[in-house]
Structure 1
Amino acid sequence: MNKQQKGTAAGAAGGALIGAAVSKGSIWGILAGAAVGGLAGNLIGKKMDQQARELTQAVPTAEVNRVGEGINMTFDASLAFQINSAEISESYKKDLNAAASVFKSYEDTNILIEGHTDDTGSDAYNMALSEKRAKAVRDYLIAQGVDGSRLTAKWYGETQPKYPNDEANRAKNRRVELAIYANDEMVDAAKKGEL
């Protein structure tokens, strides 16, 4: 193997180990685990930079961050859903429509959709609510023309707060997060230098 191939292999192996250690399949773990490394990772990163810029412009109410070779996009669920509801609000539909138009331009990425709640209510109720919200977002994106085979929905209830569940921050934990990462076709193209 040449240096580039060794770097790519090391990056992929290291990313998988970090991904497994960071979290059990959550956004950060998926993004760390999807790392390819080397020149291929650099090419993927450039394409993700462009997609992140487009998502930031299309959906100014969402938080869009580049993480490794992927993108973490967080929607404020307090704007997206009524309390105790998985029905998507009209304003959130506009955001999802804008995001879907960007996603359709990047067919060589996969999207993990995660639902999260705050700690109000029982564990079982919150787990069910986060499942309904994640699936509602997935189904809505499919209805907007995003290929369903690219989308995976997961839910964690109140088990992965980003902020303290206190009066000032509780609402921030009611969120839907997306991880956007390279699919196998993009990885293969990057490894061949064709991206």
Structure 2
Amino acid sequence: MTHQRHSRRAVLATLGSTLALTACGSLTVETGRPLGAHLDQNGTFGQPTRNNIGVHNGDIRWAEILGERFANTVPTTINFAFNSSELDAVARNILNQQAAFIRNFPEVRFSVYGHTDAVGSNSYNQRLGRRRARAAVNYLVSQGISRSRLQALVSLGESQPIVATDGEERRNRRTVTEVTGFLENDPLVLDGRYAEIIYRTYRSGSVSAGGSGGGGAAAE
């Protein structure tokens, strides 16, 4: 009799475990979302906690968080006419917004990446992408940003198109400004006070008028 009771308990325990697993599995399959996802219907409920855990685990770097804030606050991309590195009025307006943001974070370095469309040779487009990046950087410098904080001028030429085409495409003719990292000798960085930097209040402020800042399309 004792043996039968033990056997019955074992069967019930196994059955209970199987039902529990089936229930969990059916919920995941049925909704297509992990358990508890209904608590985050607007997509923001758990994000602060996830960011906090990610930072402490080393999964999310402070520079990445600031980079996301930069991209969500101001336009990071400007575009160019065909075979040109000249900044038009729209590009200068976007760079003014970038400069206003960058001035709020003097402890941070930024990079500007130059791109082209696929028309022309790889070597020519490498040079053209570099001229575009240089034009954007020169304009940011004319708006009061230290050149030493614009760490790199990188030309990616035609290697990373937004639109896959061999023809002319304005969206591929661009520069993109991104957060690179922090100045190593800054007191806040030395103290590890990254949160004080990246969550600092952003003030758009007024931007002084500047010229084209890059000399337009320089000779090859």
TM superposition score normalised by structure 2: 0.53
1:156 partner amino acid = L
Contact kept? 1:164, 1:170, Cα under 8 Å: no
What does residue 43 of structure 2 align with? Answer: none
Residues 163 and 109 (structure 1), Cα distance of their counterparts in 2 relative to 1, 3 Å cut: same
Q: Residues 27-176 of structure 1 correspond to what in structure 2 (within 5 A)? A: 38=56, 44=62, 48=66, 51-52=69-70, 56-57=72-73, 59=74, 62=75, 73=76, 75-77=77-79, 81-151=80-150, 152-165=152-165, 170-176=169-175
Contact kept? 2:78, 2:91, Cα under 8 Å: no
Shift of 1:39: 7.1
Deviates more, 1:184-193 or 1:150-159: 184-193
Deviations 1:112-167 (A, max 9, x none): 11101111112222111111100000111001000110012111211233442256
Contact kept? 1:40, 1:187, Cα under 8 Å: no
SS at match of 1:120: coil
Q: Which has the larger radius of gyration?
A: 2
What does residue 21 of structure 1 align with? Answer: none
1:132 partner amino acid = R
Q: Distance in 1 between matches of 2:160 and 2:64?
A: 30
Contact kept? 1:39, 1:191, Cα under 8 Å: no
Shift of 1:188: 2.8
**What runs of 5+ residues in structure 2 fail to find an aligned partner?**
1-53, 198-220
Q: Distance in 2 between matches of 1:147 and 1:88?
A: 20
Q: Distance in 2 between matches of 1:43 and 1:133?
A: 29
Shift of 1:170: 3.7
Contact kept? 1:43, 1:190, Cα under 8 Å: no
Contact kept? 2:163, 2:171, Cα under 8 Å: yes
2:112 partner amino acid = I
2:87 partner amino acid = I
What does residue 69 of structure 1 align with? Answer: none
Q: Distance in 2 between matches of 1:135 and 1:109?
A: 19
What does residue 179 of structure 1 align with? Answer: 178
Contact kept? 1:115, 1:157, Cα under 8 Å: yes
Deviations 1:64-94 (A, max 9, x none): xxxxxxxxx3x141xxx22111111012111
Shift of 1:109: 0.8
Q: Distance in 2 between matches of 1:158 and 1:46?
A: 25
Kindly tell me the number of residue pairs found equivalent between the two proteins: 140
Query: Comparing both structures, which one devotes a greater share of its residues to strand?
Result: 1
Identity, in percent, stands at 26
TM superposition score normalised by structure 1: 0.59
Query: Comparing both structures, which one devotes a greater share of its residues to helix?
Result: 1
Residues 86 and 46 (structure 1), Cα distance of their counterparts in 2 relative to 1, 3 Å cut: closer
